[in-house]
Amino acid sequence: MWSCPCCLRFKFSPEELEQRYKSQEIDKMIEKDKQALKRQVKLLLLGAGESGKSTFLKQMRIIHGPKFEYELVKEYQQDIYQNIVRGMRVLVDARDKLDIPWEDYSNSEIGKRLLECENPTVLDAILFANYSPLVAKLWKDSGIKRAFDRRREFQLSDSVEYFFNNLDRISRYDFIPTNQDILHCRKATKGITEFVIPINKVPFLFVDVGGQRSQRQKWFQCFDSVTSILFLVSSSEFDQVLLEDRKTNRLEESKDIFDTIINHRVFKNVSIILFLNKYDLLLKKVANPETDIRWYFPQFSGNSHSIQDVQKFILAMFTGVKRDPKKALYHHYTTAVDTENIKVVFNSVKDTILTRNLEILMLQ
């Protein structure tokens, strides 16, 4: 039976009335949250380590906002310093193990000093000033350049060349990372990162989980209420092996993960979009006469220096594992560090997602 507010005053004490009103407000908030969740688009970013998931999420912030907070930019600044120092240490160590001679033998002492320096957990502009002249001198040595050219034989971040080539600017005391610097900054994702970005008045929840083997056990925690999966593949890594075991081909590992995801019963009605990422690096490798995809994939039968043939082969590797012929699979060739490329691609992806999930999202 309905009671008017006046009657309620006589039936309940002031304390009971206050509790009743609070309860009603909580119920309203819960209902509001339920409606918001129905409208929310949950995008799960999956893929092996270093496939570009975190870079893609950074692009979403650059394109759609919000901007990177000052504190976060300062964190990226320190990470960039670490990327540079660690990258050069890796190259000095690789040059030694590959038995590549120094062009300038005096650089051997600099390299030794760099390897023996205690690795600081935090690198600020003042500390980095001690390292940058050493890194700059070593990067000019042909021995280090030859080691860099053989980087498929060891583990080196894709971004170090970009940072070494921008070392003069980065070494300045007033250096503030640009968006492009932040996009190239490498830091392995551990755990689960969630970020909501309103796009066309619809909340898009991006969920980024670490791609290294040790992090994949956490993936299942994110499988609930997924709208779409964006699966990223580092298409340029056909000649590289995993950091984890140094034996497994990275492209084969990505294919095996994709096989598990696209054929998982949990994702039967979830749209999956395949991003064949690092197109810019793939282009360079295919054009290199000293690199041939057939050395790693003997079944390849096309022209190993034709980007179209190589892309077609890599795409077929992934589409070939799909068991349900009715399940839609969309694909795009991407360069995650290229903002304009990601802007165009995501516009297409966004329309696909919203069209396929119109009724579910109650957007009619």
Count Cα atoms within 13 angstroms, Cβ side, for 292.
Answer: 10
On whether 50 is known to bind a ligand per the annotation, the reply is yes
Indicate which residue of 155, 193, 212, 248 is catalytic: 212
Ramachandran angles phi, psi of 228, nearest 5°: -150, 155
119 annotated as a binding-site residue: no
Catalytic site residue from 89, 95, 186, 250: 186
Q: Are 295 and 237 in contact (CB under 8 A)?
A: no
Q: Is 187 annotated as a binding residue?
A: yes
* 42 marked ligand binding residue: no
Cβ count within 10 A of residue 201: 7
Indicate the DSSP class of residue 230. E
Q: 211 among the known binding-site residues?
A: yes
Is 188 marked as a binding-site residue?
yes
Query: In the annotation, is 146 catalytic?
Result: no
Residue 153 catalytic?
Answer: no
| Residue 49 annotated as binding site | no
H helix and E strand count, the chain: 14, 6
Exactly one of 181, 208, 237, 253 is catalytic; name it.
208
Across the chain, the runs of DSSP E, i.e. the strands, are: 41-46, 192-199, 202-209, 228-234, 271-277, 329-333
What letter does residue 69 receive in the DSSP assignment? P
Which two structure tokens, joined as six digits, stand for 234? 């580092």
159 carries a ligand binding annotation? yes
Reply yes or no on whether 208 is catalytic.
Answer: yes
Determine if residue 277 is labeled as part of a ligand binding site. yes
Active-site residue, 186 included: yes
Which of 55, 59, 82, 334 is labelled catalytic? 55
Please state, as a whole number, how many other Cβ atoms lie within 10 Å of the Cβ of residue 348: 12
Q: Please indicate if the annotation marks 328 as binding a ligand.
A: no
Indicate the annotated binding residues: 50-55, 158-159, 183-189, 208-212, 277-280, 336
Indicate the annotated binding residues for Mg(2+): 54, 189
Indicate the annotated binding residues for GTP: 50-55, 158-159, 183-189, 208-212, 277-280, 336
Catalytic positions are 50, 55, 186, 208, 212
